[in-house]
Structure formats: structure tokens, C-alpha cells
Amino acid sequence: MRHTLLLAVLCTTLGSIGYAQQSLSLEDAAAILYSNNNAIKISETGIEIAKTQKQQLNSAWYPFISATGGYLHFSNKISADANIGELADDALQALAQTFPSLEALLQQLLPQLQQALNSLGNITLSFPLLEQDITSIDAIALWPLFTGGKRILAGKIGTSLHRQAQELNTLTTNAQMVLMLNTYYTLKLAREVEQMNTENLQFMEKLLHNAKRLKEEGFINKADYLVIQVARDEAARELHSSTQSIQIASSALSAVLGKEINGEELSGRWFVLDSIPHINAIYESILQKNAQLKILEFQEGILENNEKIARSNYMPNIALFAKQNLYSHNVPKNLMPRTIFGATMQWNLFDGLNREKEIQKSRLGQQQASYACNQAQQELLTAAISLRSKMEDATCNINTLGNTLQLARELLREREKSYAEGMCTSTDVVAARTAVTQASTALNLAHWEYSTSLANLLALSSDTHKFIELHNEYGK
């Protein structure tokens, strides 16, 4: 007997050490969310992509350097042909125009010269210029000097894209944080309900056991016994249903966190604020901090800069260019200099009204973004009013149901005493116990409604991290 007792104590001690239930606080859940959630990782990668796009747009301020090369084969050699007679005739005419005093002498010599020119007219000289096969490799540099403001506007667009990606990350983080808080407290609610249903089942089984003895001794009839038995079966069914709800809520929380939750104890508590902020203060905070509104504002700014870029197409583009030959074969320097530099200008005078349509499209896009921003503000205000009303209702229910639960427990104690004294029926006891379970469930549900509504309300101001601060302050 002594050895058995020592073994039982040892097993109990080892079990409490080896299988101690781990705790999952709101801070721990948030840390897991930030490190494992795929949606947050995607939005963080989007920031890096936007940063790269910004750097890519700023590259227009630097010169473009490239290397070109090629091999050409001609069907024949390229040369310059000249007729000697025509060249001599042209030379005589040029000499007469240059020296008018020699005109008389040239008239006297013209017969002899004409004869000589006729004899040279059949002679053609050929000067080779390029061979049939040529090769050339060149380095070319182009540096835009004036683009009508396109580079400045492109830099502004790049900055807007980067900040827009940051706000999108804020929006995603807050959305996932709200989802985590909802699933966290949903799992907490499911476990609270399971605990109540477990206590309810234990109560009904104890009541059924006592009722069976009273029935055997003839103190109650079969109908009273059947009432308790039906209530016991209903309690078992409710417990099974709540167990299934825990599995679903646990899977949902694991999916959001990106980590499997294996029965960790949730140390997060229900809490209620001293007062709910006025709707005007809430709406003002939403207008200042909401990430969705900021994203729409950045989109409108990008469209405005796109319109300015379209207008800049009316201005010419001016750039410096330079070319340096690195290698050439069969390309004489006198035909193609090795080094060339200069300035170039391109001015598009007419492009089929493409610029005008681009300006019109940008204006319409700005109007669309403005309408979307106004619509988003109205929807956010409606959501804020709805969530605040839910918090007020939940606060009222919490205060009322707290008193109701105390009264229900007092009623249950009185019913149990009366039942033991034969002053009430089993139906009265079952009804009193059911009232305790319903009041307790409704109270936890009101706490859940308050907590999730507060989390969603803070998300409208992109301020969900404040939920944990409020929890630590009021959840004591």
C-alpha cells in the first residue's frame, strides 16, 4: 500500500513536470504572426520591389553607355570612280573662272586641249573605299540633358510607389493582426464554452446518479428521472459540439499564425475599457492614419504626375552623345573617324493625338481615384459607427449578464436545497442549471463581441498594435 501511494505521487509529479501546458500570450502570438505569416512576408517583399522600381526610375539621371558591334559582307567592293576627261574639263572651267586674264590664252589652246580631252575621255580612274567584309566594335554614350521634366516626375512617382508599398504593408499587417485577434479570442471563447459544458455535464451526471437512488427509494417518479436523463444527454451533446468548435478555431488560429497550435493555454484575458472614444475622435483618427486612404491618395498623386509627364511630351528632348571605335577591320579612318561626339535633339511635333489622349486618360483616372477615396471615407465611417455600437451593446450586456449570472447561481443553490428537501421537481433544478450555463455563455460571448469589435475598430486607424497595450492595461 505504501509503495503504491509513493508510485502514484511520483507519477503525478512527473506528469506535472513533463506535460506542463505551455502558455500563448498575445505578445507571443503577435511575434509568431510577424515572423511566420505569408501575407505579411509578401507585403514586405513588395516594399523591396517598390524600392527597386524607385531606383530604376532614378537611373534616367545617369548616362547610358553601351557597346555595339557587327560584321558586314557586301556583294562587291565599294569604290569611287572618276572620268579623267570630265575632271580635266572641270579643271579648265574652274581655271578660267579663277583667272580671267588667261581666257584669251585658253581660247587659242582650246583646239589642242579639246583633242587631248577627247583622248582622255575614255580613261576612268577607280579608287577603292571599302572591302567586301568589314567589322567594327564601338562604345556609345548617351546622356540626356533635358527631357521636359520627365526625370523629376518619374522620381516623384518612384517615391510614391515606395510609400504606397509601405502603406500596403501596414494595411496587410493590421488585417492579419485583426484576423489573429479574432481567431485567438474565438478559440478562447470555444474553450470557455467547453469548460462550462464540462461542468454542466458533471453536474447533470451527479444529479442523475442521485436521482437514480431517489427513484429506487421511491422519492421521485419515473418522469422526474427522465427529465434529468434527457438533460444529461443534452449536456453530453453540447460538450461534443464545443469540442468540435475548439478544433475548428485552433486550426483557424494555426493558419493565421503559420504555426501549429497544440493545446497551448491562451493567457489573453477579457477586458473592458473605462469609456469608448466619441465617434468624431475615432473618425478623425481614421482620416489621419488609415492605410487604405493613404494608398488611394498616393494613387491619385501618381496619376497627377503621369498627366504632367504626358504634357512634357510637348517639349523637345536634348542629349549629349559620344562614340568611340574600339576595333575595326577594313574601315579606313578617313571614311569613319574613330571618335565622334556632339548633341542631339528630338522633338515630336505630332503623334496622332496620343499625348492628348494620355492627358485625358490621366485626368479621368484622377477623378476615379477621388471618387474611390470619398467612397472609402464613407464606408470607413459607417464601419466605425457599427463597431462602436457593437462595443456599447457588448458593454451593456456584460454589466447586465454579470448580475444575471450571480442571480442564476443563487437560484441554482436554492433549487438544489429545495430538491433535496422535496420542495421542487427535477425540472426546476435542470432549468436553474441551464440558466447558469446560458448566462455564463452569453457573458463570454459579450466579452468576445467587445474584444473583436475593439480590434476591428483599431484596425480602421491602422493601430491594431495598441490592442495589446490596452489588454495589458485593463486586462488585470
**DSSP string spanning 402-443?**
HHHHHHHHHHHHHHHHHHHTTSS-HHHHHHHHHHHHHHHHHH
Is the pLDDT at 168 greater than 50, yes or no?
A: yes
24-38, 126-140, 243-257, range with the lowest pLDDT: 126-140
Reported as a pLDDT band with limits 50, 70 and 90, residue 424 is confident
Is the pLDDT at 345 greater than 60, yes or no?
A: yes
At 331 the pLDDT is 82
- Is 260 within 8 Å of 254 (Cβ atoms)? yes
- Helices assigned H by DSSP within 147-290: 150-217, 222-257, 279-289
At 88 the pLDDT is 57
Reported as a pLDDT band with limits 50, 70 and 90, residue 21 is low
- The residue ranking higher by pLDDT, 110 or 374, is 374
At 7 the pLDDT is 35
The pLDDT mean for the chain works out to 86
Give residue 67's Cα distance to chain centre: 39
Backbone angles phi, psi at 35, to 5 degrees: -95, -25
- Is 235 within 8 Å of 202 (Cβ atoms)? no
State the average pLDDT over residues 157-186.
96
At 422 the pLDDT is 79
**DSSP string spanning 214-239?**
HHHHTSS-HHHHHHHHHHHHHHHHHH
State the average pLDDT over residues 284-298.
95
Reported as a pLDDT band with limits 50, 70 and 90, residue 95 is low
What the block records as the C-alpha cell of 82 is: 572618276
At position 445, the amino acid (one-letter code) is: L
Is the pLDDT at 110 greater than 70, yes or no?
A: no
Distance CA 70, CA 328 (A): 10
Reported as a pLDDT band with limits 50, 70 and 90, residue 295 is very high
**DSSP string spanning 101-147?**
GGHHHHHHHHHHHHHHHHHHTT-EEEEEEE-SEEEEEEEEEEEEEE-
Is the pLDDT at 18 greater than 80, yes or no?
A: no
State the average pLDDT over residues 413-429.
87
* For the chain, percent of residues with pLDDT exceeding 90: 63
Reported as a pLDDT band with limits 50, 70 and 90, residue 3 is very low
